[in-house]
Structure 1
C-alpha cells in the first residue's frame, strides 16, 4: 500500500513571509525601547603604586619642590585653616576627590617636615 498523503484543499501553498519579531513591547519583563549598550572604556580606578614609581616620585618632589598653589595650601594648613585649604585645592585641581587626596598628601608632607625638624633640634 502506498503511504497516506495529507488531505489538501486543492489550493497552492504560498510561501509565508515571516514577520519580524516584535521586540519593543509596552508590557512584560523586557518592556520598553531596546537600545544597544555603549561600549565603556576600562575603569581608570587607581591601583597600588609600585615601589619604583613611589621612589621616582619622591626624587622628583625632592628636586623640584612644591608648586606655588601647594605651598599656599600648606601655609593654610599650618595656620589651621583646613577648610579654606581644601577649598583652594578644589578650585585649583577641579574636583573634590582630587582636592581631598592632595590635601591629605600635603598634610602628610607637613607632618614629615615637622618630624625632621624635631629630630634636628634634638641632636
Structure 2
C-alpha cells in the first residue's frame, strides 16, 4: 500500500497543472507526455513503462516477506534514532541523519517517509487500544 501511495503522489503532481510550453515556472521546458504506469484508467496500450523503471517495485510477496521480517526483528538502530528525531518533529535533522547513513538524498527521503508512516500507524494503533479499554 505504501509504495502505491508514494507512486500516486508522484503521479498526482504530474497531473495537477495543465502543461503549456513555457520557459519559466515549475513546469518549464519542453512539453512532453508523461509515461504512465497503467494506473486507474490510464491504460493506454501505446504507453508502457520501461522494464528498467519497474526494478525494485514491490510485489505482494516481497512486501509480505518484508513485513514479516520487520515484525520479527524490529527496526535497525539508526531507524529507531531517526524515528526519535521525527517524534520531536526534527524532520530536517532526521533527513540529514538518514542521508549520512543511507548515502543518497532520495533514499533518505524515502526512508524518512516510511518511518513517519510507521509512526503514524503506531499512533493510530495506540489510539485504538486506548479507546477499546
Task: Identify the TM-score tier after normalising by the shorter chain.
Answer: 0.5 to 0.7
Flag the structure with higher helix content. 2
The root-mean-square deviation of aligned C-alpha atoms, in Å, is 1.6
Pair 1:71-2:89 in alignment? no
- Structure 1 unmatched runs, 5+: 1-41
Pair 1:83-2:92 in alignment? yes
Range 42-51 or range 86-95, more displaced: 42-51
- For 1:53, which of 49, 62, 85 is the aligned residue? 62
Q: How many residues align?
A: 82
- Structure 2 unmatched runs, 5+: 1-50
TM-score, reference length from structure 1: 0.63
SS in 1 for 2:107: helix
Larger Rg: 1 or 2? 1
TM-score, reference length from structure 2: 0.58
Deviation at 1:49, TM superposition (A): 1.1
Q: Whole-Å Cα distance in 1 between the matches of residues 97 and 56 of structure 2?
A: 26
> Which stretches of structure 1, 4 residues or longer, exceed 2 Å deviation after superposition?
42-48
Q: Whole-Å Cα distance in 2 between the matches of residues 64 and 44 of structure 1?
A: 30
Q: Which residue of 2 aligns with 1:115?
A: 124
SS in 1 for 2:122: helix
